[in-house]
Amino acid sequence: MDVDEVPAVDIGPGVRARLLPGMPGIRTWVIDLDPGAEWPELDVHETYGEAYFVVRGELIEGGRVHGPGTYVAFGPGTSHRPRSETGVRAFGFNYDVLPDGPA
């Protein structure tokens, strides 16, 4: 699948998401931030967590810079507001189930 052929949804100025086919309990997506873009609001994880893998560019979380090849995971009850100075593409996963059943 060519992810660039999946329609993008505008999340905020310079922030786009593409929802990818996945499996029950896991939402898979690609996120692109333009240079200088920031997630429009605090992203709170009330489910069972989120993780992403940076493919290109840099994603900034607080004072930490995550470059290509970086994997970042957030547990339940966490929050963050990513931004990018260089522009970034990351593949991500939202987990909606525990290993023993649905949320």
Q: Let me know if residue 25 belongs to a domain.
A: yes
| Number of folded domains that form the chain | 1
Mean pLDDT of 1-12: 95
pLDDT tens-digit readout, 29-73: 999 999 999 999 877 777 788 899 999 999 999 889 999 999 999
- The pLDDT > 70 percentage for the chain reads 93
Question: Which of 29, 43, 28, 24 is CA-nearest to residue 97?
Answer: 24
**Is 70 contained in some domain?**
no
Does residue 53 sit within a domain?
A: no
**Per-position DSSP letters for 30-98, written without gaps between them:** EEEE-TT-B-SS-EE--SS-EEEEEEEE-EEETTEEE-TT-EEEE-TT-EE--B-SS-EEEEEEEE-EE
* Rounded Cα gap, residues 71 and 100, in angstroms: 24
The closest of 20, 26, 15 to 4, measured between CA atoms, is: 20
What predicted TM-score, i.e. pTM, was given to this entire model?
Answer: 0.85
d(CA 92, CA 64): 18
Q: Which domain holds residue 24?
A: 1-30
In a domain, 8, yes or no: yes
Whether 100 is covered by a domain: the verdict is no
pLDDT of the residue at 26: 87
